[in-house]
Structure 1
Amino acid sequence: MIILAAGIGSRLGQNLPKALVELKDGFTILDLQLKLLKEKFNTEDIIVVVGYKKDLIIERYPDLRYIYNPEFRSTNTSKSLLHGLKFIEENEDVLWLNGDVVFESGILDLVLDEIDNNIICVNNEKVSDEEVKYTLDEDKYINAISKEVKNGLGEAVGINFIKKEHLPLFVSCLEDCQDDDYFEKGVEMVIEEGVKFIPVDIKDNFCIEVDFPEDLQVAKKFIKGLMKK
């Protein structure tokens, strides 16, 4: 498993890695992600790709495995993911997620239900111009995924899975990405090489990428309700 937590997150204005942003009483986005992942997976396999203010994350979570993206200021998620994948054993499937995603555990159940496939988690109830969108081919596999997609069927939510047999080709595609490309560009490139990804619709589960202050307020409201249960 790889958590991408190298970015600056300037739009949120917290002056912290977004993974360390508090949702409630010191409980961070990364706390939530680790809690949910531990319920379903072996968390000894977690790699966190760090960059901006990396020492803050490492000091708070000293038992995790870390990979440093030294070019975090000039590269995007394609290169952070590439850094992480280079330290993955070739006999491992890989779940990866953005370090700013606040979600509920049912999404991981949906992933496990489709574990024989390569997966892009999507929300078909939302199609915002600002988000990564996708379309399908005639066989219902993803054929395009980017912010520039026209007539998108839904939004990619930043939680994804790839089978071990496709990792070498995916790594090669990420190496061919430009520094400012999102990892979805690498996904598009590996799809062009014949690798299939299915969309897994998470619309019945809470999920939000915390990019802006208003996103954080929505996430905090969700966590407040969750902790009351």
Structure 2
Amino acid sequence: MKVLLLAAGRGTRISRYLAGNPKCTVDIGGQKLIQYTIELFHKKGITDIAMVLGYRAEVIQETLKDYEGIRYFYNPFFDVTNSIASAWFAKDFLSQYDDTLIMNADVYLEETLLDRILECHKSPVMFADGTRKEEADYKYKYENGLLVKYGKELTGSDITGEYIGIGRFSKDFMPEFMEKLDGMIRTQQHSVWWENILYEMVGKRPVYVEEMDGLFWAEVDYVEDYERILRFRGYKADFSLNVEKI
């Protein structure tokens, strides 16, 4: 198993609260979010980890300076491209075919949730939370474990859960993934998410969705997301994001 963490974006929706630092470097109570994530993967025996950096890359590398073996790639166009371009800049890592997780680096996962993800052997499979519907950011509709619809604009009965920012892919699927990735970059589709590689397959081949409802996760897009993480870990933050144990 290998893991690609995407951390190139600026995070404009919350950046004013973070003193301009990358979202994955927020303090979650005694350590940074990205440190927690790396240590969690190491605990599961996963050490083949790469990150794509962009905005304030030096802050992330300084945060992880004591963690050996992480491969870094850089998206110099992070301010004018989306995450599909970041994935393309890590193509040397992804082309060394193995079972692969691709994950947004600003996502917090409780350990049991990661265990569920690692136990899932469907491919390609995206992970969703069926307990979050109306408040969901990026919404999925899935039926019988297959993705049917997707998008921020979904409403009502078209929402069965919120995408949590992680996909898992088998070694056998990765050549197809890379072919689609190269094709989309060649046709200048660099303003879309890496997940669009999978979305273009919907209706043509099975794209699975695995439910993670009941287990805790949060993506640091808004201050409310950050506060949810702190509460889960037994901390609170004041308006300057100083963290205190509850």
Range into which the TM-score falls when normalised by the shorter chain? 0.7 to 0.9
Write out aligned runs for 1:25-36 (5 A): 25=30, 27-36=31-40
Which secondary structure state, in structure 2, belongs to the residue aligned with residue 80 of structure 1? Answer: helix
Structure 1 vs Structure 2: percent identity of aligned residues? 27
Match of 1:83 among 89, 108, 119: 89
The structure with the largest alpha-carbon Rg is 2
The whole-number CA distance in structure 2 between the counterparts of 1:91 and 1:172 is 13
The structural deviation recorded for 1:16 is: 0.7
Q: Rate the CA distance shift 1:99–1:164 in 2: closer, same or farther, 3 A.
A: same
Matches within 5 A, 1:7-86: 7-12=9-14, 13=16, 14=18, 15-25=20-30, 27-43=31-47, 45-62=48-65, 63=68, 64-86=70-92
Cα displacement (A) at 1:99: 0.9
Give the alignment of 1:31-180 within 5 angstroms: 31-43=35-47, 45-62=48-65, 63=68, 64-128=70-134, 131-136=137-142, 139-150=144-155, 151-175=158-182, 176=184, 178-180=189-191
Matched AA of 1:144? K
Instruction: Specify the code of the residue in structure 2 equivalent to 1:171.
Output: M
Contact 1:29 1:102 in 2 (8 A): yes
Q: CA RMSD in A?
A: 2.1
Which one has a larger percent helix, Structure 1 or Structure 2? 1
Residue 71 of structure 1, CA deviation: 0.8
- Which whole-Å deviations, capped at 9, do the CAs of 1:11-69 have from their partners, x for residues lacking one? 112111111111113x11101111211122321x1001100010111122233210101
Residue 112 (structure 1) shift: 2.3
Q: Does 1:197 align with 2:207?
A: yes
How far apart, CA to CA, are the structure 2 residues paired with 1:171 and 1:190?
A: 13
Moved over 6 A (4+): none
What secondary structure does 1:143 align onto? strand
Is 2:222 the partner of 1:217?
no
Q: Give the number of equivalent residue pairs.
A: 222
**Residue type at the aligned position of 1:6:** A
Name which of structure 1's ranges 180-189 and 169-178 shifts more when overlaid on structure 2: 169-178
Distance 1:130 1:201 in 2: 14
5+ long unaligned stretches in structure 1: none
TM-score (norm 2): 0.82
Separation in 2 of the partners of 1:61 and 1:131? Answer: 29
SS at match of 2:93: coil
